[in-house]
Structure 1
Amino acid sequence: MLPGYRLLRKTSLILHALWSPFQNRMTSTKSQLLSFQNRLMTLIQECRCEGTPPSGSSLFIPEDTFNELALSLACLQYQSNPYLRGYLDRFHSPPTLWSHWKEIPGIPTHVFKAYDWTCLEENERLRVFHSSGTTGEKNSRHWHSHDSLKLYEASLLQWARQHRPWAGDRLPFVHGVFLTPPPHQVPHSSLVHMFDTLARTCTASTTHQFVGEVGKDGMWQLPLREVAESLQRQTQAICLFGTAFLYVMLMDYLQEKSMTLSLPKGSLVFETGGYKGQTRALSKADFDRAVTKTLGVEPQNILGEYGMSELSSQAYPIQQQPGTAHAEPWRFHFPPWARHRILCPEKGHAVNIGETGMIQIIDLANVWSSMSVLTEDLAIEHGRSFQWIGRATGAELRGCSLSTDHFT
C-alpha cells in the first residue's frame, strides 16, 4: 500500500470516527422531533375544552402541559440547529437550564432571511414559504417537509373552525372569492397555501375561485373590471378573501368608476396580510368604512386574521362574533398550542397589560424551524390576547434586534 494512500485511509477513518457519533445523535434527534410532531398532531386533533376555556375558545391545553412541550421542543431544536445552538451557548444558556417557556428567547424574523433556519436536511425540504415582505425588502424562508405541512394544515384547520366564517355546522356563504393569485402561480406564499387549504375544506354546495394575478413585475394584481362585474352579478351570500392592499386596489377602482356594489345580504369580507407598501395604508376604522361604502358589507361581517410565513399557527380576533361593534380594535389570540408575549424593545422584558411592545410568539407547531419567533410588529398587551398596531419603526428595531453575526 502506497504511503499516500495509507495517510488518506487513516484520515478517512479518523473523520468517520468523529462524524459517526454526531451523525447518530442527529438521527436520534430527528426521530425525537418526529415523535414530538406526532404527539402534537394528536393533541391538536383531540384538543377539547377542559374546565373554563380562555378567550371564549372551546379548545384548551393546560399551562403545565404547554410548558412541558415547549421546553422539550426547545431542547430538540437546540440539538438539531447549529445556528440556534451557537447563539444560545454564546448569548443565553442551554435549554436544559430553563424551567418555564417564558425563558425561551425569541429568534428575530430577519434571521429567516439570512439563514436556512431549519432542522430539516436538504433532501427533506419539500416546500419553502417566503415572506411577502414590504416592497424592496429581502424575503425570509421557512422550509417545510411533507410531515411538517401536515402539521401546519392540522393546526390551521383546527383553529380556523373556532372562528368565523368557518365556525358552525355549515358555512354562511355559497361562494368564496379569493382575491390573491391561485396557488400554482405563487407556490411560495404561505398566505395562499392557507387560503387553498381552507378552500379545499368547503362542502360540495360551496364553490370557490382565485381571481388574482401575478403581474410582469412579480407583484400581485387584480383584473379589476372583471372582478367588479363578477361581484355585481352575485345573488347569494359570498365571502371575499384577500390582503388589505388588494381590497384597497379594488375599492379605489370602484370609486374611480363611480361604482358602488351591494353584495348580497350576509356576505363577508376576510382581510389579512396588510399593505406591504403596495398601496396607501388605512386604519381599521377607515378600512371598515370603505368596505361598507363600496362593497355594501355590514361592519360586523368584516373579519380578519394575523399570521406570517415564519409561523405555522395563526391568530384570530376574539371578538369576531355577530353584533360586535366594528369600531373596536381587534384583539387577537393564538390557539392553545401557541402563546404570545409582548416585550419591551429596549429591555426585553414582558410589558404590563395595556402597554406596547414587540410581539414574541411561541408556536409549538413550528417543530422543524424555530418554535420562538420575535416579530417586527408592535402590539398592546391584553393578557390572553393582543391588539396589533403595526410594523415597528427603525428606532424600536434597533432597540431589540440582533445582528445576523450573533448567529454565526
Structure 2
Amino acid sequence: MSKQAPSPFTNHHDAYSMGQEGKEVWLLNGMRQLTEWHRERCMEYDRFLLSSGADNNHIQRLDQLPYLPTSIFKKFDLLSVDPEQHPKLKTVQSSSTSSGVPSRIFQDEATSYRQKKSVQSIFDSFLGTERRPYIIFDAMETARGKNSMSARGAAIMSLMGYASRFYFVMDLCDGQLVLNEERLIEAVEAAKESGDFIAYGFTYILYQAHEMLQRQGHSFEGFGNQTFLIHSGGWKTLQNIAVDKGSFNDAVSSVWNISPEQVIDFYGLVEQTGVIYPDCPYGNKHVPYYADVIIRDPHTLQALPTGEVGLIQLMNLLPLASPNHSVITDDMGKIVGVDDCPCGRKGKAFQFAGRAPKAEVRGCGDVYAEEQGK
C-alpha cells in the first residue's frame, strides 16, 4: 500500500502563482499517486478502475486520468478510510435540487485540514486577509452539524476565518427563511464602524433578500472597496425568472452603494470541497495550481480545446477520505485562456455555461453498477 498521500501544496503561497506548463508535470505526478492511494484503500473504486480499463502506469497527461461521474456519489458511499479509526469523520451532502438525492462525500481530519488551507489560499487572493464583520444571509441552523453538513453550511463556514464577528440575519420560520431586520440593522452598524464587511448567501436567497430590501427602500452607505458580497449555487431558480449575472450584481450592489464587481459569484461542488472558483473582475474563474479543469465533449467525452463548450471535469489533490479527486460533472463550461487573464492570475481561466440537458454522464461507475445488478 502507498504509505503516504501526495502533498497538495508546494512553497507557492499564492494559489495562482504557478504557470500551467510547470504545473501540469507536478500535478500529474501527484494525481497519479492519489489515484493509487484511493485504489488501494477503496474496494469499489478499485473495481471502477478495473471495469474502465484505466491503467495508471500509462497516463502521460492530465486529460488521461480516470474520473467518476458526480452521480455515482448519490448511489454509493465511497470510503478510502476506516470509519472506526476516524471518529471525527464527517459527511458533506449536496443540495440535491435537481434529483432530490444528495451526493455524500466523506471528510477525515487530514482532508478537512487540506480543504481549509485551500479555501483560505483562494479567498486570500480575492478578499485579502483582513478580518471584517461577516453578514450571513441564512439561518444559524444551516451551519450546524457535528458529523454532517449541507453544501450551504459548508460554504458559510468556509468564510468564518475572515470574520471579526458574524451575524446570521435570517430566521427559519415554518420551513421558510425570513429576514430578521433587527439583526440586519445590528450587523450594518457593526459594518459601518469597521468600514467594510463580507457577506455570504446562497445565490437565490441573497437575491430574494436584496429584492425585498429594495422594495422597502433600504439603501446603506459608507462601505469601501474591501466590502464583498459572496454567493454560490442556485442559478437555475433565478434563470427561470430571467435574472442574469449582470442584473443580479446590480440589484445586490445597489443596496450597499458599492461596485457590482464587489459581488462575487463562486462555483464549487460538494464533490470537490475545498476548491472553489470565484469570479475575477474580468468574469473568469481561475484554477489553483493543485487542481485542474478539463472540458469534455458531451457525446464522445474527448477533451476539448480552449473556447469550446463541454462538460466540466474537475480534479484536485485534496481528498483522502473519498475517491472524489477526479470527477466529471453535468455542468457545462469552456476554457477561455491560459496564463493570460488581465487580472494576473496564472493557470487556466474558465467560464461556467449552465447545466447540461438532463442526462446521466456515463463513466466507469455505471459499468460497476451494471455488473452489480447482474
What TM-score results when the alignment is normalised by the length of structure 1?
0.76
Aligned residue for 2:135, secondary structure, equals strand
After TM superposition, the structure 1 stretch with the greater mean CA deviation from structure 2, 208-217 or 280-289, is 208-217
Distance 1:346 1:291 in 2: 38
Report if aligned partners of 1:224, 1:250 keep a CA contact under 8 Å in 2: no
Q: 2:326 aligns with which of 372, 383, 392?
A: 372
Aligned-pair identity (%): 18
Instruction: Give, as a single letter, the amino acid of the residue that structure 1 aligns with 2:205.
Output: L
Matched, 1:225 2:181: yes
Matched, 1:248 2:207: yes
Distance 1:175 1:356 in 2: 39
The correspondence of residues 323-402 of structure 1 with structure 2, limited to 5 A, is: 330-369=283-322, 370-383=324-337, 384-394=348-358, 397-398=359-360, 400-402=361-363
Report if aligned partners of 2:15, 2:122 keep a CA contact under 8 Å in 1: no
Q: Paired residue for 2:368?
A: 407
Report if aligned partners of 1:212, 1:222 keep a CA contact under 8 Å in 2: yes
Distance 1:116 1:387 in 2: 30
Report if aligned partners of 1:275, 1:281 keep a CA contact under 8 Å in 2: no
Instruction: Give, as a single letter, the amino acid of the residue that structure 2 aligns with 1:147.
Output: A
The correspondence of residues 141-220 of structure 1 with structure 2, limited to 5 A, is: 141-161=104-124, 163-167=125-129, 170-171=130-131, 174-182=132-140, 183-184=143-144, 187-202=148-163, 206-217=164-175
Q: After TM superposition, give the deviation of residue 141 of structure 1 in Å.
A: 0.4
Q: Paired residue for 1:306?
A: 267
Report if aligned partners of 1:128, 1:188 keep a CA contact under 8 Å in 2: yes
After TM superposition, the structure 1 stretch with the greater mean CA deviation from structure 2, 265-274 or 70-79, is 265-274
C-alpha distance after superposition, 1:382-406 (max 9, x if no partner): 2411101222221xx35x4349642
Report if aligned partners of 2:70, 2:329 keep a CA contact under 8 Å in 1: yes
Instruction: Give, as a single letter, the amino acid of the residue that structure 1 aligns with 2:368.
Output: F
Larger Rg: 1
Matched, 1:272 2:232: yes
Structure 2: state its 5+ residue gaps: 338-347, 370-374
Q: Paired residue for 2:12?
A: 47
Report if aligned partners of 2:48, 2:364 keep a CA contact under 8 Å in 1: no
Instruction: Give, as a single letter, the amino acid of the residue that structure 1 aligns with 2:43.
Output: P
Q: After TM superposition, give the deviation of residue 108 of structure 1 in Å.
A: 1.0
Q: Paired residue for 2:244?
A: 283
User: May I ask how many residue pairs the two structures share in their alignment?
Assistant: 347
Structure 1: state its 5+ residue gaps: 1-27, 321-327
More strand by percentage: 2
Distance 1:154 1:404 in 2: 30
Aligned in 2, Cα 1:229/1:280: closer, same or farther, shift over 3 Å?
farther
Distance 1:232 1:65 in 2: 45
Q: Paired residue for 1:137?
A: 100
Distance 1:269 1:51 in 2: 22
Instruction: Give, as a single letter, the amino acid of the residue that structure 2 aligns with 1:208.
Output: F
Distance 1:62 1:344 in 2: 24
Q: Paired residue for 1:7?
A: none
Q: Paired residue for 1:24?
A: none
After TM superposition, the structure 1 stretch with the greater mean CA deviation from structure 2, 349-358 or 274-283, is 274-283
Instruction: Give, as a single letter, the amino acid of the residue that structure 1 aligns with 2:325.
Output: M
Instruction: Give, as a single letter, the amino acid of the residue that structure 2 aligns with 1:273.
Output: G
Aligned in 2, Cα 1:227/1:288: closer, same or farther, shift over 3 Å?
farther
Report if aligned partners of 2:14, 2:121 keep a CA contact under 8 Å in 1: no
Q: After TM superposition, give the deviation of residue 109 of structure 1 in Å.
A: 0.9
Instruction: Give, as a single letter, the amino acid of the residue that structure 2 aligns with 1:242.
Output: G
After TM superposition, the structure 1 stretch with the greater mean CA deviation from structure 2, 365-374 or 190-199, is 190-199
Q: 1:76 aligns with which of 32, 37, 44?
A: 37
C-alpha distance after superposition, 1:321-344 (max 9, x if no partner): xxxxxxx5x211121110000111
Q: After TM superposition, give the deviation of residue 93 of structure 1 in Å.
A: 2.3
Report if aligned partners of 2:51, 2:368 keep a CA contact under 8 Å in 1: no
Q: After TM superposition, give the deviation of residue 271 of structure 1 in Å.
A: 1.6
Distance 1:49 1:226 in 2: 39
Distance 1:49 1:166 in 2: 12
C-alpha distance after superposition, 1:224-263 (max 9, x if no partner): 5345544664523222211111112202322443x23224
Aligned in 2, Cα 1:227/1:50: closer, same or farther, shift over 3 Å?
closer
Instruction: Give, as a single letter, the amino acid of the residue that structure 2 aligns with 1:393.
Output: P
Distance 1:150 1:50 in 2: 16
What TM-score results when the alignment is normalised by the length of structure 2?
0.82
Q: Paired residue for 2:344?
A: none
Aligned residue for 1:305, secondary structure, equals strand
Distance 2:136 2:218 in 1: 20
Instruction: Give, as a single letter, the amino acid of the residue that structure 2 aligns with 1:107.
Output: L
Instruction: Give, as a single letter, the amino acid of the residue that structure 2 aligns with 1:209.
Output: Y
Q: Paired residue for 1:5?
A: none
After TM superposition, the structure 1 stretch with the greater mean CA deviation from structure 2, 151-160 or 188-197, is 188-197
Distance 2:95 2:253 in 1: 27
Distance 1:98 1:389 in 2: 29
Q: 2:50 aligns with which of 77, 81, 89?
A: 89
